[in-house]
Amino acid sequence: MSRLRAVLVGAGGMGKAWAGALVADPRLDLVGWVDVVEERAREAVGALGLTATGVEADVGTALSRHSPDFVVDVSVPEAHYEVTATCLRRGVPVLGEKPMAATMAEARALVELSERTSTLFAVSQNRRYNAGLVAFKDLVATRLGGVSQLNAEFYRAPHFGGFREEMASPLLLDMAIHTFDAARYVTGADATSVVCSELNPPWSWYEGSACAVADLEMTGGLRFTYQGSWCAQGFETSWDSSWRAVGRLGTALWDGTGAPVAEVEVAGSDATERLEAQPAEGFAGGIAGSLADFVSALGGGDPPMGECHDNIRSLAMVFAALESSRTGARVAVEA
């Protein structure tokens, strides 16, 4: 089988991480790297010793010169629409970083363009590719007897610098979608409405609101609550949040790093038993998992997780939460 040709857009920190994943996959060749600051891409190419990888300043030129089988878009969020639309119009599949687009209107336009051109477009929700989350999902589905409440807490204090610290709503726009998407993945439910509030403490080093609290109504009568902060010093949660699912037969917990656990009723008694779900070993996690799923789909496999028709439902949760925060009202979630 011939190797697939990939072009990477974006040479920042995540771009370099994606380059590592692309180079490590024996089915792929990284034939082109795009960045508006060409020197940044040249430095990254040199650091990885990619002598056969061309460097371009724009994606259109890269498509013409390198004829890729697919593009990985790790540009800044504001550029996602233009990069993806350029590729889809030329029939080149795209695996993008979140968010799908900077607005819901742009996201809907990209979904329509993917349909019209019959070209695969997916967004890497790499947190789904976590063996612990998969084990938690299985525990919730098989041992709780249905779920009425799902809670997630995310508390960290990263100093990124750059665009995140300048965004109006950095936590909701850049991070909360991971947790919102994971809630959909774990439960199989979609959000129908949300009420959300944001705040930015006096000690925050972000220009915009770095904290949020959201209450989401989901299909099937499920209630999902999210509390998060990007300026919470001490007792940090994992990057994958800390979770609690409450069902008819018991409760399941996952701290985002270890093995998920549950306490459930023992049939025919008032006692409970403690269960521990061991995450699978040898699991292709993170962006490597996203990439493997996408490449499999290009070869005729099932649509990848994060395919645009599905991912827009997670993005809609974010934009509805933002609207609720601005208006103070409960807002319908509409993809």
DSSP state of 19: H
> Nearest 10 degrees: CA dihedral of 163, 168, 171, 176?
-110
DSSP for 249-280, please give it.
SEEEEE-SSS--EEEEEPTTSS-EEEEE-PPP
Q: Say what the pLDDT of residue 196 is.
A: 98
pTM for the model: 0.94
- Helix extents (H) in the chain: 13-24, 38-48, 59-66, 80-89, 104-117, 131-143, 170, 177-187, 286-298, 308-327
Axis crossing angle, helix 308-327 with helix 177-187, rounded to the nearest 10? 120
Q: Give the integer Cα–Cα distance in Å for 139 and 247.
A: 11
Instruction: Tally the residues of the chain.
Output: 335
DSSP for 169-218, please give it.
SHIIIIIIHHHHHHHHHHH---EEEEEEEEE--TT---SS--EEEEEEEE
Q: Locate 212 and state its tokens.
A: 């949020």
Dihedral-angle region of residue 232 (phi above 0 means left; psi in -120 to 50 means alpha; beta otherwise): beta
Neighbours of 16 (CB within 10 A): 18
In DSSP terms, 225 is beta-bridged to 151, 215
Q: Give the integer Cα–Cα distance in Å for 102 and 91.
A: 22
Q: Say what the pLDDT of residue 285 is.
A: 87
CATH second-level architecture of 130-280+315-332? 2-Layer Sandwich (3.30)
Segments of the chain scoring below 50 in pLDDT: none
Q: Give the integer Cα–Cα distance in Å for 198 and 322.
A: 9
SS3 27: coil
Q: Say what the pLDDT of residue 1 is.
A: 57
Provide the CATH number for the domain formed by 4-119 in this structure. Answer: 3.40.50.720
CA 259 to centroid of chain Cα atoms: 21
Neighbours of 273 (CB within 10 A): 13
Q: Say what the pLDDT of residue 117 is.
A: 98
Q: Where are the domains of the chain?
A: 4-119, 130-280+315-332
Contact by Cβ (8 Å): 44, 27? no
Q: Say what the pLDDT of residue 37 is.
A: 93
